[in-house]
Amino acid sequence: MKRPLVFAHRGGADALPEHTLGAYLRAIDEGADGLECDVRLTRDGHLVCVHDRRLNRTSNGRGLVSTKTLAQLDELNFGSWHPGYPADEELPDLSRLLTLDRLLEALRDRGRPVRLLIETKHPSRYGAEVERKLVETLRRHRLPDERVHVTVMSFAALALRRIRAQAPEVPTVYLLEIPPPGVGRGRLPFGARIAGPGVGLVRLRPTLVPSIKQAGHQVYVWTVNRPADLEMVLEHQVDGVITDRPKFVLERLAEM
């Protein structure tokens, strides 16, 4: 059986603060095939790697990411909230806001090919500007290339259509929490090339992954952290495992 690709969800958020450069670099060093990040637009048009609409959970700030400038966000600490953060040390890579530009620059210097899954977050007050800015950023970094293999993901089918129209060479993943009509028979919305069901959905709908794969699509499942869930998705022969615990998943795969 071909082993699935292992992606560090938000950089491997179980061990270190999510969406920090230190977390991403650690996941690469531990052998992850790829990384997953979420992007949002700041008020002044920068793509930053933050999952939530609000800053409260993962920083010492308050309010909406979309209403702040990059300079305002750069003043915040994005690491000290996490139990894996060594608060007695000065570790800027575990506390500083991560922009997509910084992440892409770091990945190009890692010395081996890395896959990067980029999720555009919607709904957003900036609408289609999120995808336009993302494509512009990839073009500026001359990506994708042989060093950084970029794939774009979204729960919004319209977002994937925009990527397909503006950057047809970039693979796309349609994320699923509740499957819309047709997906159960293996149909994906126009613009999507890979299905991305949540692990809970795979558990509830055991015929979903086989139907999608029979239709000729790849399947990446999120967020696979428990041993039982890993065994389940491996039985389905999924193509990608997105996990907060990349080291755990890699070790289990090495035992098989």
Instruction: Please tell me whether the peptide bond between 206 and the residue prior to it is cis, using omega within 30 degrees of 0.
Output: no
b/e burial code for range 117-142 (CB count within 10 A of at least 16 → b): bbbbbbebebeeebbebbbebbeebe
Q: 104 to each of 29, 71, 112, 128, 198, how far by Cα in Å?
A: 16, 19, 13, 22, 26
9 is catalytic: yes
Q: Which two tokens stand for residue 49?
A: 């790697």
**One of 9, 19, 46, 149 is an active-site residue; which one?**
9
- Interatomic CA distance for residues 188 and 168, integer angstroms: 16
Q: How far from the centroid of its chain's Cα atoms is residue 16's Cα?
A: 16
**One of 19, 46, 51, 217 is an active-site residue; which one?**
51
46 is catalytic: no
Q: Which two tokens stand for residue 218?
A: 């790849």
**Known catalytic residues?**
9, 51
